[in-house]
Amino acid sequence: MINFTEYNFKGKKAIVRVDFNVPLNKSTYEVRDDTRIRAAIPTIKKIINDGGAVLLMSHLGRPENGPEDRFSLKHVVSCLSDLLEQKVDFVCDCIGSEAERKANEISAGEVLLLENLRFYKQETAGSKEFAKQLANLADVYVNDAFGTAHRAHASTAIIAQNFPNDKMYGYLIAKEIESVSKVLNNSISPVTAIVGGAKVSSKIVIINELLEKVDNLIIGGGMTYTFIKAFGGKVGKSLIENDYLITAKEIIEKAKENNVRLILPKDSVVADGFSNEARTLVCDSSEIKDKWMGLDIGPKAIAESVNCIENSKTILWNGPMGVFEMEQFQEGTKQVALAIASATKKGAFSLIGGGDSVAAINLFNLADQVSHVSTGGGAMLEYLEGKSLPGIKAITA
C-alpha cells in the first residue's frame, strides 16, 4: 500500500474524495460549521506543496433528483479558499466536457472543486462507468472522506479499481485508523469505554466488541434503564427496550466473565416530563416512580464515572450520558467530557467517536483538549464494531 506521507505528488493530478457535507445557513447558504473542511486542509496542502494539482470531489446533503442550488458545492468555495489561503476554482459538474476541460487546464499548485457527486444517482449506486469518468480526470486517487468510508459508493470505493498502483488514503483517514488502533489494538491500560446514547439496540454490537478489549465499561444515557429493568428495578416512564432485556443480562454476564468492570449509573436525574421545564429530582436508578423518567445520570454516578475516567490511560467515548440537548439534563455529559479532558492532560489517549458525543464535546468547547475527535459518525461506529469499511478496503486490498 502506498504511504501518502511518502508519496511525491510533483507533476501529478490528484483526485481527492473529501467530506464537505457541511451544514449551510438555510437562507444565505453560508457554511455554518467548517469542521469537516478544516479536517481536509492538511491533505490538500501536502499535495500542493509537493507540486501537484488537486481536484476535490464530495457530496453535500441528499439531493433526490439531480442538481439543486441548495445542495451545490459552490457554497463552500469561499470558506475553502479562506482556509487554504489561496484561490479555489469551481466547475458546475463533476463529469462531462466542462469538468474534463477544467481538469486538463489545471496547473501544479492549483485547486479545483467539482460539483456535488450526488447530483448523479450513479454515485450512491456505485456505478463503475461513473467512477471511470471521475478517474479519467486525474493520475492519482486519494480518499480522505472518513465520514463516507462505510459506503461502497462510486467515489469512495469503486473508483479505486481504476488506480491499481496510485491509490492511497490521506492524513485524515490515516489519523482515524490510527486512533481506533490506539484504543482497541495497541492500547495502554487501564482502558475505559463510555457508551451512552438512546438505545441498547443501536449499541449492542459495539458493546460486545468492547467487552473483549476494555478494562472498564461505563454505561449511561437512555439505555441505562433497559439494564436496570432487566434486574427488576423500577424505571417509571424511562426509555425501555423490552426486546433487549435478555441482551442486557447477557452483557452483564459477559462483563463478569471477561473481568470488565461495568459501571451502571447508581442514581439518575429524573423528570416528570420530557422537557427542559419539567420538575426534576435525583433518585436511585432502580427506584424511579411511575410517572417519572430518567434523563441524566445523577451525582453518585458522575462521581464514580469521573473517578474511573481520571484514572484511565486510554479512553473511548461514544454517546451522551443524558438528554444533553436540554440544559437541565446536561451535567452528566458535561462532567464526563471534563474528566476526559483532564485525563488527556495527564497523558491519556482519548478518542471521541460517534455523532452525539462529538456534538457534546463541541458544545462544551473541549474538542481541542482531547486526543482525537472523529469526523465520521456512522463510519466510526461501524469501524469500532470491527466491520471492514469499503472506502478503506478499496485502498488496502
**Whose Cβ is closer to ligand AMP: residue 113's or residue 295's?**
295
Q: Toward ligand AMP, which CB reaches closer, 298 or 320?
A: 320
Indicate whether 110 belongs to the interface with ligand AMP (CB under 6 A): no
Nearer to ligand AMP, 137 or 270 (CB): 270
What's phi and psi for 77, nearest 5 deg?
-55, -50
Q: How far apart are CA 146 and CA 160, in angstroms?
A: 15
Going 136 to 138 to 140 to 141, the CA torsion angle's sign is negative
> In angstroms, what is the minimal distance from the CB of 386 to ligand AMP?
19
Q: Please tell me whether residue 270 binds ligand AMP under the rule CB under 6 A.
A: no
Among the listed residues 36, 46, 229, 334, the single catalytic one is: 36
Footprint of ligand AMP on 19-78 (CB under 6 A): none
Part of the chain binding ligand AMP (CB under 6 A), chosen from 196-204, 251-259, 276-284, 382-390: 196-204
How is residue 352 written as a grid cell? 471521541
CA 308 to CA 311: how far, in whole Å? 5
Q: Which residues pair with 57 in a beta bridge?
A: 17
Applying CB under 6 A, among 126, 170, 298, 322 the residue interacting with ligand AMP is: 322
Residue selected from 356, 361, 366, 394 as contacting ligand AMP according to rule CB under 6 A: 356
Whether 36 is a known active-site residue: answer yes
Residue whose CB is less far from ligand AMP, 98 or 274: 274
C-alpha cell at 87: 484561490
Task: Measure CA of the first residue to CA of the last residue in the chain; give whole Å.
Answer: 8
CA distance 319 to 380: 12
Nearest to 323 by CA among 367, 274, 359, 288: 274
Q: Which residue's CB is nearer to ligand AMP, number 143 or number 285? A: 285
Residue 326: CB minimum distance to ligand AMP, A: 8
Alpha-carbon distance 268 to 256, whole Å? 24
Neighbours of 345 (CB within 10 A): 11
- Among the residue ranges 23-31, 67-75, 97-105, 316-324, the one whose residues contact ligand AMP (CB under 6 A): 316-324
What is the size of the binding site for ligand AMP (CB under 6 A)? 16
User: Which one is catalytic: 45, 199, 261, 313?
Assistant: 199
Minimum gap (Å) between residue 37 Cβ and ligand AMP: 24
Q: Which helix (H) or strand (E) holds 234?
A: strand 234-235
> Taking CB under 6 A as the rule, does residue 376 contact ligand AMP?
no
| Residue 199 appears among annotated catalytic residues | yes
The single-letter code of the amino acid at 86 is: Q
Residue 9 Cβ vs ligand AMP, minimum distance, rounded to whole Å? 38
Q: 226-265: which residues touch ligand AMP (CB under 6 A)?
A: 239
Q: Is 287 in the site for ligand AMP (CB under 6 A)?
A: no
In 3D, which of 315, 309, 318 has the Cα closest to residue 380?
318
CA within 13 Å, CB half, 68: 12
Q: Applying CB under 6 A, which part among 2-10, 124-132, 136-144, 320-328 lies near ligand AMP?
A: 320-328
Q: Please say which residue, 215 or 356, places its beta carbon nearer to ligand AMP.
A: 356
Cis bond leading into 190, ω under 30°?
yes
Neighbour order of strands in the sheet with 372-373? 261-263, 216-219, 191-195, 314-318, 349-352, 372-373
Task: Using CB under 6 A, pick the residue from 221, 353, 376, 391 that binds ligand AMP.
Answer: 221
Instruction: Report the alpha-carbon distance of residue 141 to residue 14 in Å, rounded.
Output: 6
Enzyme catalytic residues: 36, 199, 355, 378
- The site for ligand AMP (CB under 6 A) is made up of 197-199, 202, 221-222, 239, 294-295, 319-320, 322-323, 325, 355-356
